[in-house]
Amino acid sequence: MSSEHKEVVLLPHQQDREHLLDLYRKMFLIRRFEERAAEAYTQGKIGGFLHLAIGEEPANVGTMAALRPDDDVFTHYRSHGHALARGMAPGPVMAELFGKATGVSAGRGGSMHLASLEHHFWGGYAIVGGHIPLAVGMALAHQYRGLDRVVLCIFGDGAVNTGAFHEALNMAGVWRLPVVFVVSNNLYGMGTAIERSSAVTEVYKRAAAYGMPGVRVNGNDVLEVEAAVRAQVEHARAGNGPSLVELVTYRFRGHSMADPELYRSKEEVERRKAQDPIVQFRRRLEEQGVAEAAALDAVEQAVEDAVDAAVRFADESPEPDPGTLFDYVYVNP
Amino acid sequence: MADITYREALRQALREEMLRDERVFLLGEDIGAYGGSYAVTKGLLEEFGEKRVKDTPISETAIIGAAVGAAMDGLRPVAEIMTINFTLVAIDQVINNAAKMHYMFGGQFRCPMVIRTVGGGRRLAATHSQNLEVLFAHIPGLKVVAPATPYDAKGLLKAAIRDDDPVVFIEHSLLYGARGPVPDEDYVVPIGVSDVKRRGRDVTIVAYSRMTREALIAAEELAKQGIEAEVVDLRTLRPLDMGPVLDSVARTNRAVVVGEDWRSFGIGAEVAARIQEEAFDDLDAPVLRVNQLEVPTPYAANLEKLAFPGSQQIVEACLEVLNVRVGAPVTAG
């Protein structure tokens, strides 16, 4: 099968008011959550690195909307949005950023290593490309057991030039495994523009090398993302093997909080911010008569309250008990 | 009780565990149709089929990564990496994924997998003759096993497959033909338990893998000179069981630590340090080490022979630590 650039056809349920409001709520939640995380970082409440996905919310929310609860997610270190979109509670996610005992990874992982067994959210990983083979292994486990669960593996455009990407996609292609590879192409691998790092900048075309379909969609449109990813998830679930979906998106903030952004112009960023996908989606819902302003305001207010509560929860939670330092090194020490 | 080879003992362990537990499967390069590059897996493809004996591409990163992913979902993969030298191209999967999986996400995930690989090698030059066990033994979260006898090889491999943590199982290319007694009934050798392979009162020789055999040959040689060496086989390098070593040193007051790895920062350095930390008052002489000389392994037979340690160097080291005691009464007299 060759790679292709498909026309995205929206799905019937994407007309439903409740579904559309839920997508909006989740995107707005990610935006507010990350703004508050940035604030907490500057207050010294969050340590290490903090990688924000502000601007990439449609890609975050659209991918997760395409999955069943028992499907599996592997993602990278810019994954607050994926965790929240997957339904993980904001409080324990924020508490993990704060390094608290109540964090989703019990304070062992931090911002880059969020996980929840209950949500089949198998982790954020911070070695670029290093988690892609894990997704292949879990898909192999599903094939081995004859299950119809699908694994979704998210990584950035920087990851596609690692050896792990190549080895993993080839293995998935050889064994026709139920895994959907999603490249969140925000055009920069840290500070290096994709045209300076990739010989072929249309990442979806690489699918051809692994015998799987490749599709590219506008990652700033949550409905297009959901529809495109869902099509490939169902393709995998039906036993047709892996695929590669490229979501073209843009991050409004730096690579991490420490990024002075010398590699792109302020004008470029401002031009993008003027097309804020959350603002556009809200306008679309209002203009199409899906929801009136008051309903959307209410959604936003509920999110503000939830994020306030999440920050309070993280602030008030205890640090991990020093007596637990050696917990989890081994299952059987 | 039958006398079988180390290779056959390993094959029996794999076969019996595959019969015992449907979740156990094998993956690696040329383990199926080819029969395994050291023939350990010969016949298993014919018996168990392609689902459970998976030939892979030459993709060590994907092999180990896929094993981690499958293990996270509850399968019990045994990944074969043809030689320990090839683990280097996939070291990220071992150290950053397998070893961290349980800890970094607060105990939510488990990684019950085995990496079978092979150390040693002769006439293969610098990149195919290395003993790199220390790279893995350094890492909290991994268990590292290096058996010397068919009995230990079978019992430890069965224990490794049943273990809930990732185990790096290091075979030795020069031991596959070695014979020894192995019980007919099911048994395991627990991970993390050193074993006294020969009793003696005069000097303690600590070894593992093929060097245990060299130590036993050295002990025979020393016995001809009236010196009784005790040989302690570590069997597991992490977690390191120092109990039998310290018990022995308390009686012999002298120790020689033998490894086929390089001396600097090696297994012997760790064992010697622990002996002086925990049994300083028992020592009548400095702890000596016998190792490969600090050169990349040369191809030429005569140079290679010079580089690797053997029973003669062990004998010499034992005589050196004993000379201190032999000399003492002379001074007193």
This complex has an ipTM of: 0.96
Average pLDDT estimate for A124-141: 98
pLDDT at A5: 52
Given CB atoms, is A36 within the 8 Å cutoff of chain B? no
| Angle between the N-to-C axes of helices A57-65 and A17-42, in degrees from 0 to 180, rounded to the nearest 10 | 130
Cross-strand partners of A215: A245
Which residue type sits at A147?
L
User: Does the distance separating the beta carbons of A139 and B96 come in below 8 Å?
Assistant: no
Q: Under CATH, to which class is B195-332 assigned?
A: alpha beta
The answer, yes or no, to whether residue A301 has pLDDT greater than 60, is yes
Q: How far apart are CA B170 and CA A175, in angstroms?
A: 28
Q: Nearest residue of A to residue B160 by CA position?
A: A332
CB of A96 closer than 8 Å to CB of A104:
yes
Q: Which residue has the tokens 């990732």?
A: B166
Query: pLDDT of B250-260, one tens digit each?
Result: 999 999 999 99
pLDDT at A140: 98
Shortest Cα distance from A236 to chain B (angstroms)? 18
Q: Under 8 Å CB-to-CB from B59, ≥6 apart: which residues? A: A167, A170, A171
Q: How far apart are CA A64 and CA A71, in angstroms?
A: 10
The residue ranges of every structural domain in chain B are 2-182, 195-332
The bridge status of strand A151-156 relative to strand A121-125 is unpaired
pTM of the predicted structure, to 2 decimals: 0.96
pLDDT at B151: 98
Query: pLDDT of A21-36, one tens digit each?
Result: 999 999 999 999 999 9
pLDDT at A11: 87
pLDDT at B333: 30
Chain centroid to Cα A201, Å, comes to 21
How many CA atoms within 13 Å lie on the side-chain side of A297? 3
Element (H, E) at B47: helix B44-48
Query: pLDDT of A215-243, one tens digit each?
Result: 999 999 999 999 999 999 999 999 999 99
pLDDT at A6: 57
pLDDT at A10: 83
Average pLDDT estimate for A120-147: 98
Cross-strand partners of A184: A156, A247
What are the phi and psi torsion angles at B117 (to 5°)?
-150, 175
pLDDT at B332: 34
The answer, yes or no, to whether residue A141 has pLDDT greater than 60, is yes
- Say whether B60 is catalytic: yes
B195-332 shares the fold of B2-182: yes
pLDDT at A7: 66
Given CB atoms, is A112 within the 8 Å cutoff of chain B? no
What the block records as the tokens of B142 is 């991994």
How many CB atoms neighbour CB A205 within 10 A? Answer: 17
Helix ranges, A43-154 (H): 57-65, 80-85, 90-97, 132-145
Query: pLDDT of B163-180, one tens digit each?
Result: 999 999 999 999 999 999
Query: pLDDT of A181-221, one tens digit each?
Result: 999 999 999 999 999 999 999 999 999 999 999 999 999 99
Low-confidence ranges of chain B (pLDDT < 50): 324-333
Given CB atoms, is A332 within the 8 Å cutoff of chain B? yes
Residue A140 has its nearest CB partner, among B66, B93, B102, at B66
The answer, yes or no, to whether residue A38 has pLDDT greater than 70, is yes
How many CB atoms neighbour CB A145 within 10 A? Answer: 13
pLDDT at A2: 40
Cα–Cα distances (Å) from A104 to A135, A177, A316, A324, in that order, read 20, 29, 15, 16
The residue ranges of every structural domain in chain A are 12-72+129-312
Q: Nearest residue of A to residue B162 by CA position?
A: A332
- The CATH number of B2-182 is 3.40.50.970
- The CATH number of A12-72+129-312 is 3.40.50.970
Cα angle B195, B161, A147 (rounded to 5 degrees) comes to 170
pLDDT at A284: 95
For the four alpha carbons of A199, A203, A204 and A209, in that order, the dihedral sign comes to: positive
> In chain A, which ranges are E strands?
72-76, 121-125, 151-156, 179-185, 188-189, 192-193, 214-218, 243-248
Peptide bond just before B239 cis, omega within 30 deg: yes
